[in-house]
Amino acid sequence: MTSVTTPGLDNAPTTHAKLLSWVQEVAELTTPDRVVWVDGSDEEWTRLTEQLVAAGTFTRLAAKPNSFLAQSDPSDVARVEDRTFICSVDEADAGPTNNWMDPAEMKSLMTELYRGCMRGRTMYVIPFCMGPIEAESPMFGVELTDSEYVVVSMRVMARVGTAALEAMGTDRPFVPALHSLGAPLDEGQQDVAWPCSTTKYIVQFPEERTIWSYGSGYGGNALLGKKCYSLRIASVMARDEGWLAEHMLILKLTSPQQKTHYIAAAFPSACGKTNLAMLEPTIPGWKVETLGDDIAWMRFGEDGRLYALNPEFGLFGVAPGTGWDTNPNAMRTIEAGNSVFTNVALTDDGDVWWEGMTDDAPAHLTDWKGRDWTPDSAEPSSHPNSRFCTPITQCPILAPEWDDPKGVPISAILFGGRRKTTIPLVSEARDWNHGVFMGATLSSETTAAATGAVGVIRRDPFAMLPFIGYNAGDYVSHWVETGKGADAAKLPKIFYVNWFRRDADGGFLWPGFGENSRVLKWVVERLEGTAAAVETPVGHVPTPGSLDVSGLGMTVEQVESALAVDKDEWRQEIPQITEWFEKFGDKLPGTMWDELEILKSRLDG
């Protein structure tokens, strides 16, 4: 019997019966050479990173302490949305935005893929906790994986190892998350630097709170605590238990008067969350501190306010565009070392480089595919979805309360996307339901964070299109219900922003990055009732004088163009929104149709 002979299986550092039997069952199915229980120690990190260097997966960076570069298989660089499934018992519970397959059918199909899939490899057991282990109800998970890259990355992104396992005790619930690269090794077979399979499945079983992932080593497909657990599975838990699991950053904003506000913001993948979360304000006296850059879990506190918590432990940020000019705090975070970079370029002195890091590119690089690169090369040196994976605790502007299990009270929620036209720089919702309408109709150009075409406008409700673990109509209803059950005066105010509007020449109308602090200032002044706004069909937008553009060097016309609500442009949105809403059938709450009618009548008025 494999179960008896697999080394490592018998000396488990836990007596958690359910965990033990699941580990045994998976080991019997996948037949790894050995089982290793991840303890999360420095020694383990050293051993695994050395092993990854020896295997050719990692290059140790001479120029940054304890940091590594991984260059993936060129086909395994992003989330695979077309291979991602919500396998609910009832198909209606996955529709209309998710791929679905009957759970039994999916399990039998994947069981055959998993059979023997870890042959020649090690199966790692990674106990982890999303959010603080000291939380009242810690959110445990256990990932089984045959990838050392996944183990070291999970150690950066989540609280892993002995502390999590001990807190799980003998019987506390956990989300089982099974991952395999799908690349077994035969005896004597030479491994490749980035093993993966051409067959990929990223599967959530929402009723069972279970995750099965196969074939990819890329972050969002393989670090299962992140999108699979903290968004897809957690959104189902949140629906059932009355909270929210969202694709949002969390930041703390302090005004020159020392008033603080916490702000959460949902932008689609590669649309600016990490950058806003770490923003360095350009306006004097304002301060931003970071609490999270990708995921927020939000629950009502006893005081009736909505509190947000970042369940992660690290940053998995888009590299290109991250530079000393645009996001100096991210640069400082990675300078501290202890980071894994994937699919960026290597400099000749053993550092990383990517487009946008510095104004001038180095004269010579090794590009993400391992080829010589010079500024004359036809292709960028780094993949557009290349990433840095780095401990959030290294962020120099991390708010001290970032890991408080009770979270922080949110004053404002921003929705935003990447739109060249139509959407003004900032607008404020009239009320909660109008804000939910803004979220439900959010649109953005697709980015390299997922495989497929880039730059195509699509609806991305609440920036959660690829991450809602259940029916998207029910999800919108959940947002409406969240507002209904609350004291309206204590609910966060909702805003919609767009940093990506273009001028006639195709350039950005708004300078973005640190200058976005001007928009945050207007948001806070709206909360405090001190900033003026004009009412437009799509909400309140700043009056020309109420947005602080001092010292920015923009002309009045440029500011007006950034803020413009063009009725003709908006009328063109109506058929698209109508078509979008029709997809939801009777699952869409009637209030969304009401909001659409209000918009239409205001555009015609």
Which residues does the annotation place in the binding site?
Answer: 79, 218-220, 227, 247, 269-275, 294, 385-387, 418, 513-516
- Among positions 16, 155, 226, 252, the unique one binding ligand SPV when judged by CB under 6 A: 226
Distance (Å, whole) CA 230 – CA 212: 14
Q: Measured from the CB atom, is 176 or 292 closer to ligand SPV?
A: 292
Selection from Mn ion, ligand SPV, ligand GTP, none that 226 binds (CB < 5 to 8 A by kind) is: ligand SPV
72 counts as binding ligand SPV under rule CB under 6 A: no
What does the DSSP 8-state code read for residue 111? H
- Among positions 215, 320, 328, 435, the unique one binding ligand GTP when judged by CB under 6 A: 320
**In the complex, minimum distance from the CB of residue 330 to ligand GTP, in angstroms, rounded to a whole number:** 8
Selection from ligand GTP, ligand SPV, Mn ion, none that 227 binds (CB < 5 to 8 A by kind) is: ligand SPV
Residue nearest to ligand SPV (CB): 220
Distance (Å, whole) CA 289 – CA 352: 26
Residue type, 189: Q
Q: Let me know if 171 is exposed, middle or buried by CB neighbors in 10 A (0-12, 13-18, 19+).
A: exposed
314 counts as binding ligand SPV under rule CB under 6 A: no
Selection from ligand GTP, ligand SPV, Mn ion, none that 513 binds (CB < 5 to 8 A by kind) is: ligand GTP
**In the complex, minimum distance from the CB of residue 265 to ligand SPV, in angstroms, rounded to a whole number:** 13
SS3 label, residue 476: helix
Per-residue tokens: 187: 């005896």
Identify the helix (H) or strand (E) that includes residue 180.
strand 175-180
Annotated binding site for Mn(2+): 227, 247, 294
- Among positions 297, 316, 341, 496, the unique one binding ligand SPV when judged by CB under 6 A: 316
Please report the sign of the dihedral spanned by the C-alpha atoms of residue 188, residue 77, residue 229, residue 163: positive
SS3 label, residue 526: helix
Catalytic residue among 117, 271, 389, 395: 271
- Among positions 269, 329, 343, 498, the unique one binding ligand SPV when judged by CB under 6 A: 269
In the shown chain, the binding pattern of residues 249 to 288 toward Mn ion, with x for contact by CB under 5 A and - for none, equals --------------------x-------------------
3-state helix, strand, coil split of the chain in percent (to 5) is 30, 25, 45
Selection from ligand GTP, Mn ion, ligand SPV, none that 220 binds (CB < 5 to 8 A by kind) is: ligand SPV
**In the complex, minimum distance from the CB of residue 319 to ligand GTP, in angstroms, rounded to a whole number:** 8
CB proximity list for 259: less than 8 A, separation 6 or greater: 524, 528
What DSSP assignment string belongs to 204-248? EETTTTEEEEES--SHHHH-TIIIIIIIIIHHHHHHHHT-EEESE
- Residues 214, 192 contacting (CB under 8 angstroms): no
508 counts as binding ligand GTP under rule CB under 6 A: yes
Judge whether 228 counts as a catalytic residue: no
293 counts as binding ligand GTP under rule CB under 6 A: yes
Instruction: Give the chain's end-to-end CA distance (angstroms, integer).
Output: 76
Stretch that binds Mn ion, among 133-141, 156-164, 291-299, 524-532 (CB under 5 A): 291-299
294 counts as binding ligand GTP under rule CB under 6 A: yes
267 counts as binding ligand GTP under rule CB under 6 A: yes
81 counts as binding Mn ion under rule CB under 5 A: no
What does the DSSP 8-state code read for residue 328? H
- Among positions 103, 127, 215, 219, the unique one binding ligand SPV when judged by CB under 6 A: 219
CB proximity list for 336: less than 8 A, separation 6 or greater: 65, 390, 391, 394
- Among positions 314, 473, 512, 589, the unique one binding ligand GTP when judged by CB under 6 A: 512
Distance (Å, whole) CA 334 – CA 327: 11
Contact positions with ligand GTP (CB under 6 A) in 514-533:
516
- Among positions 40, 132, 138, 220, the unique one binding ligand SPV when judged by CB under 6 A: 220
Distance (Å, whole) CA 277 – CA 404: 17
Beta-strand pair 340-342/443-445: unpaired
Alpha-carbon separation of residue 597 from 246, 423, 437, 474 (angstroms): 27, 19, 11, 21
Distance (Å, whole) CA 590 – CA 593: 5
462 counts as binding ligand SPV under rule CB under 6 A: no
Annotated binding site for substrate: 79, 218-220, 269, 385-387
Distance (Å, whole) CA 394 – CA 366: 27
388 counts as binding ligand SPV under rule CB under 6 A: no
Among candidates 51, 228, 285, 80, which has minimal Cα distance to 151?
A: 51
SS3 label, residue 290: strand
Stretch that binds ligand SPV, among 40-48, 219-227, 422-430, 433-441 (CB under 6 A): 219-227
Residue type, 532: A
- Among positions 142, 165, 449, 541, the unique one binding ligand SPV when judged by CB under 6 A: 449
Among candidates 115, 126, 175, which has minimal Cα distance to 155?
A: 126
Q: How many of the other CB atoms lie within 10 Å of CB of 185?
A: 16
Per-residue tokens: 139: 């959110």
Contact positions with ligand GTP (CB under 6 A) in 441-460:
449
548 counts as binding Mn ion under rule CB under 5 A: no
Q: Measured from the CB atom, is 194 or 354 closer to ligand GTP?
A: 354
User: How many chain residues bind ligand GTP (CB under 6 A)?
Assistant: 22
Contact positions with ligand GTP (CB under 6 A) in 464-483:
none
SS3 label, residue 58: strand
230 counts as binding ligand GTP under rule CB under 6 A: no
Annotated binding site for GTP: 270-275, 387, 418, 513-516
Beta-strand pair 372-373/365-366: antiparallel
Q: Measured from the CB atom, is 68 or 373 closer to ligand SPV?
A: 68
Distance (Å, whole) CA 258 – CA 270: 31
Q: Measured from the CB atom, is 64 or 226 closer to ligand SPV?
A: 226
Residues that bind ligand GTP (CB under 6 A): 267, 269-275, 293-294, 317-318, 320-321, 326, 449, 499-500, 508, 512-513, 516
Residues that bind Mn ion (CB under 5 A): 269, 294
Residues that bind ligand SPV (CB under 6 A): 79, 219-220, 226-227, 269, 294, 316, 449
Q: Which residues are catalytic?
A: 271
